[in-house]
Each structure stands twice: as structure tokens, then as C-alpha cells.
Amino acid sequence: MGKLTAKQVEKAPAGRHWDDAGLTLQVAAGGSKQWLLRYALRGKTREMGLGAYPRVSLKGARQEATEIKNQCAERIDPLVEKRKAEAAKRAARTFREAAAEFAEDHKATWSPRHAENWLNGMAIHVFEILCDLREDRTRRKRGPAGPQAGRIGP
């Protein structure tokens, strides 16, 4: 069983707080909290994010850490598996779905007016062209115009 309690996690000051078997709660100066797991596989030590607190609870982080440790015991790299799953998810969803998810993720930090303006702007200028395009078919191209120069295509 780990060292941290739910109450300690809730009131943790800035810094790193170790639980057990590589599970760490990292608290930023602003108060945001992130679960991290340090593991070793094939002689290399890696660190993987498990999610933000309170979205991922102490119990949830411990369960996820146990699953990852089991993958490591089977010599499966959890970061590689996570990236494969994310790539498959991106390939399956459309641009409209990705934009809706982005808006939902940022709604808490946006004012209601900004959220409405952002969605209306996307509907007027972007969705008409890109709405049914799969997300994996949209990519950024870095070039003379910088990272904002986008390119649509294969």
C-alpha cells in the first residue's frame, strides 16, 4: 500500500510527493497536480504521465500504475502502447469531433463569450471545408511562414 492518503494529496504543497513503486504526485507552484509514474524497461528508466488530479484520483492512479507495471513485467513498453492507441483514436475521428473535444477541454478556462465566438468562427470559416476530414489527414507544415502555416493533405 502507498504512503500517500487522499487528504495528503488534496492538500499537498508544491513539489514532488512519492507514493509507492515509482508513483509520484507532482504539484506545480500554481497548485495544479499531475500523476507521474517512473518505471524501468530494458535497462532504461522512463517517466509517464497518468493524468491530472482530481480527474485521476489516488486510487485510479494506483490502479493505472499497477497495470503499467504488469505491462513492463511482460516486456511491453506502456508509452509505445499509449502512443499507438492515441494514433488510432486520431485516425478514427473527424476534424469536427477533434475541435469539439478541444473546445470541451478548454471551456473551463474560456469565458462563455469566447467559447461561443470560437465555435461560431470554426463553424463559419473552418467546418465547411474540414468538418468530415479525418484528423490524421490534417497536419502542420513548418516552413518559412512558421508553425502557423498549415497544410491539408496526405
- The domain limits of the chain are 6-87, 93-152
Residue keyed to cell 504539484: 27
Q: What is the mean pLDDT of residues 17-41?
A: 91
In this structure, what C-alpha cell is assigned to residue 1?
500500500
Rounded Cα distance between 96 and 119, Å, is 10
Average pLDDT over the chain, rounded to whole?
82
Q: Which of 63, 28, 47, 23 is nearest to 12 (CA)?
A: 28
User: pLDDT at position 82, please?
Assistant: 85
**Averaged pLDDT, 116-125:** 88
**Residue written as cell 507552484?**
29
CATH code 3.30.160.390 for 6-87: yes
Q: What is the rounded CA–CA span in Å between residue 61 and residue 17? A: 13
Please identify which residue in the block is written with the cell numbers 504526485.
Answer: 25
What's the grid cell of residue 151? Answer: 497544410
Q: What is the pTM of this model?
A: 0.58
Where do the DSSP E strands lie in the chain?
15-18, 23-27, 33-41, 44-53, 138-140, 150-152
Query: What are 37-91's pLDDT values in tens digits?
Result: 998 888 889 899 998 998 899 999 999 999 999 988 899 888 888 888 887 777 7
Q: Which three cell numbers stand for residue 9?
A: 494529496
Residue 13 CA to chain centroid, in angstroms?
A: 23
Question: Tell me, what's the pLDDT at 13?
Answer: 93
The model's pLDDT over 82-103, given as tens digits with 9 standing for 90+, comes to 888 887 777 777 778 888 888 8
